[in-house]
Structure 1
Amino acid sequence: MGDLLDSMLDLMRRLPPINVEDNVNSLISICPDYADDLLGSVDQPLKLKTDRATGKDYLACDYNRDGDSYRSPWSNEYDPPLEDGTVPSSKLRKLEIAANEAFDTYREMLSRFLSTIYVPLIISEAVLKPKEPSQPTGSWDSIHVFETSERGRQAHYKLTSTIMLNIIATKDAVGEVNLSGSMTRQHEQDGTLTDPTSHVSNIGRMIEDMEIKMRNLLQEVYFGKTRDVVHDLRSIESLERERKQREMQRELMGLMKR
């Protein structure tokens, strides 16, 4: 049983990242008994849902899913409704509300940014919405999972961050260019607890630092290396024009040797 799951996960790592949702659904249709294992192990692009009670948007993912329903962090209700859906304790619910209010203020400073936090595993998720149709379109989905242990006035945090990037650009000269992939990094750090909501500021700083590091790494690896490869292997100039330029260079070199 374990070997089959490992094989499916290994296959997912080799398939195009942009088709991850379709590929997961295909594997689930073949092996329905592994649905929960696949959905819990494979990161997928985040989905946007609207809380029916408050009208506010939130992100749907495996961490607020119970069966086919998703829990809203705003109303603490499942959609579709569940009578026995898992919800956080009153203490953790207060922390969840405080965290979402804080990140919602941060979100308002960035027009194409949406965040949602769920506990008891404190999770922050963000997605960038596509730009105008005339410009390159894409998405930035990031999932930050925290494991937290309190030790008096100190807390130890283990952060696992995953970023899924997808960019599509279309130009007449080069056609369609699709750049997609994912990256996962981990980091551990201690933080001071002055009150129960100190977790919010502690994890906020860790998320911001991690996203800056991962963004810089993505820019260097994805964009920098891709640009170098494209420039070395492909030219938007016509072959006929390049041939004429080479002939002109040879003629000039011949005249200089005389």
Structure 2
Amino acid sequence: MSDKQYTAALDLLRRLDPDQTRANVANLISLEPELAEDLLAAVDTPLTVQKDPHASHREFLCCDYNRDIDSYRSPWSNEYVPELTEEDAQESPFPSDPLRQLEVLCNDSFDVYRDLYYEGGISSVYLWDLEDSTDGDFAGVVLFKKTNVGGEWDSIHVVEVTAADESRAVYNYKVTTTVILQLRSEKQNGLALSGNLTRQLERDAPVAHAAGDSIDAVHVSHVANLGQLVEDVESQTRNLLDTVYFEKTKDVLQQVRLANAHTAETQLNKKQHQDVIRGLQNL
């Protein structure tokens, strides 16, 4: 794969209907399979949903961060769905035992957050150990999806957590948030809006007993810090969508309505003028 092909593929995706991003990515991969890994990692597509047969068919969200081959790891059972072969499962990525404990706590906590803020939908959290990093550093992704008859909201929060000093009393938290929004009118041939917005946020926060022997206290601190970070960046993103993008869309629609009204009025005046001329000619 050449950089030219990769750049051209990304450039093409920016110009195509964002509502069809998943299909467009699949088509590009079928044309050039070598682009698959890079495109799937670089292009954010709406989250898909699977059911975990190992956890009472509970739903979980799927993205490139919990995918291996054609299967997705469930945060509830830590198993891949569909099930991998024994050989593939041995080579598949899993979080370390301490990180898996934190992942379980994160999923339980963000499930409460989802219920309070989204009043429905699905949430999933996946964590993984960072390569060539000191003990305690990790990365992960927090996912939310809400669907109704009026559209879909997908938010993807990719986080990286590293110690800010040797004492490990303070950690640095970085988050890159992407919101994929699709709005549809219920009326036939109604208006449809699709797009995505990406923002980043970074801050340092203390971690309780980071140098002590209480791993539970460390996990609780991480969950609280991540929760505050996600809450803040989602609030900023929602405000930005509401005050900038939605307001701009309203202005554009208003201008279109005024232009259409002016055109209709002009046509009416022209018809009335023609009627007057025709009437005078008949005198």
Please indicate the TM-score interval, normalised by the length of the shorter structure.
0.7 to 0.9
Q: Does the Cα contact within 8 Å between 2:72 and 2:80 map onto a contact in 1? A: yes
Following superposition, the deviation at residue 37 of structure 1 comes to: 1.0
1:196 corresponding residue in structure 2: 218
Matches of 1:245 and 1:100, distance apart in 2: 64
Q: Does the Cα contact within 8 Å between 2:151 and 2:184 map onto a contact in 1? A: yes
Q: Name the stretch that deviates more: 91-100 or 110-119.
A: 110-119
Q: Which has the greater radius of gyration?
A: 2
Q: Name the stretch that deviates more: 15-24 or 110-119.
A: 110-119
1:251 corresponding residue in structure 2: none
Identity of aligned residues (%): 40
Alignment of 1:1-258 (within 5 A): 1-54=2-55, 55-82=57-84, 83-84=89-90, 85-109=92-116, 110-120=118-128, 121-131=139-149, 137-150=150-163, 151=165, 152-171=168-187, 175-194=189-208, 195-197=217-219, 198-234=221-257
Matches of 2:268 and 2:30, distance apart in 1: 56
Matches of 2:41 and 2:33, distance apart in 1: 14
- Whichever residue aligns with residue 145 of structure 1, its letter is V
1:253 corresponding residue in structure 2: none
CA gap 1:11/1:245 in 2 versus in 1, 3 angstroms: same
Following superposition, the deviation at residue 239 of structure 1 comes to: 6.3
**Secondary structure class of the residue paired with 2:44:** coil
Matches of 2:31 and 2:16, distance apart in 1: 16
**Secondary structure class of the residue paired with 2:148:** coil
**Secondary structure class of the residue paired with 2:162:** strand
Unaligned runs of at least 5 residues, structure 1: 132-136, 248-258
Q: Does the Cα contact within 8 Å between 1:95 and 1:196 map onto a contact in 2? A: no
Unaligned runs of at least 5 residues, structure 2: 129-138, 209-216, 272-283
Root mean square deviation of aligned Cα: 2.2
Measured against aligned partners, the alpha-carbon deviations of 1:216-258 in whole angstroms (never above 9, x if no partner) come to 11112321111111111125869657866999xxxxxxxxxxx
Matches of 2:236 and 2:109, distance apart in 1: 22
Q: Does the Cα contact within 8 Å between 1:73 and 1:116 map onto a contact in 2? A: yes
Measured against aligned partners, the alpha-carbon deviations of 1:183-210 in whole angstroms (never above 9, x if no partner) come to 1111110011013211111011111111
Measured against aligned partners, the alpha-carbon deviations of 1:5-60 in whole angstroms (never above 9, x if no partner) come to 11111211121110101100110010011111111110000011111111211100
TM-score (norm 2): 0.79
CA gap 1:11/1:239 in 2 versus in 1, 3 angstroms: closer
Q: Does the Cα contact within 8 Å between 1:158 and 1:188 map onto a contact in 2? A: yes
User: How many residue pairs are counted as aligned between the two chains?
Assistant: 241
Q: Name the stretch that deviates more: 80-89 or 205-214.
A: 80-89
Matches of 2:269 and 2:235, distance apart in 1: 44
Measured against aligned partners, the alpha-carbon deviations of 1:77-131 in whole angstroms (never above 9, x if no partner) come to 0012122221100011011001001111222334333211000222111011113
